Amino acid sequence: MRQNVSTRVFGWLYRDAFARGMRSRGRNVIAKKQLKKEYGRVVAGAKDIGKSRMMSAYCLGAIFIAAYRLNQNAEENYEILRDGLKESLIFRKALGNADQYLSEKKMAGRREWERQSHLRKYENEWVVDVLEGNEEYDLGYDYHECGICKLCKAEGSPEIAKYLCKLDFLLADLMGMKLVRTKTLAEGADCCDFRYSRK
């Protein structure tokens, strides 16, 4: 996949989060320049996913793979990234809040995304069913294919995808939402069942 504005911006954002996470731990586990270079290698080798609404997640997968190549401790890398994302005001602002994320105005776009995903135009794209809210949750997704899992597998490290799955709970929390999920593709299930609700 070619580097573009999105991959560069997300790459910078996630490298910054790693740097913040390392500062909060008082030590440099990974050099920022090395991480940038390795991230570029992962992106260059990744299959294109077009103008996907999941580009941020795909780049997150790429940065995590790059970090794993430089520091083979996936649990530590997860903790560093988690702590750095919590501290990043830019990231928190970009995420938005529960009202923005769960807005009914976004449902038409989500339905189109669902339709497009089932066409499987890009091999590494996510395939999703969007579920309207009910008495149990406000919005749900069933992911039948995951770009992060595919990218990790292609890069020879499928075992690290589960660490990125853990970040979904952090992202929901930062937006003021509760996430319930009982299974993931990364751990061998038939789908990832995301159920979001306001706190």
Average pLDDT over residues 147-154: 98
| pLDDT value for 1 | 95
Average pLDDT over residues 6-10: 97
Rounded CA separation 25/72 (Å)? 17
pTM, rounded to two decimals: 0.96
Contact in structure between 55 and 4 (CB atoms under 8 Å): no
Average pLDDT over residues 165-188: 98
Average pLDDT over residues 168-189: 98
| pLDDT value for 65 | 98
pLDDT in tens, 23-78: 988 888 899 899 999 999 999 999 999 999 999 999 999 999 999 999 999 999 99
pLDDT in tens, 96-141: 999 999 999 999 999 999 999 999 999 999 999 999 999 999 999 9
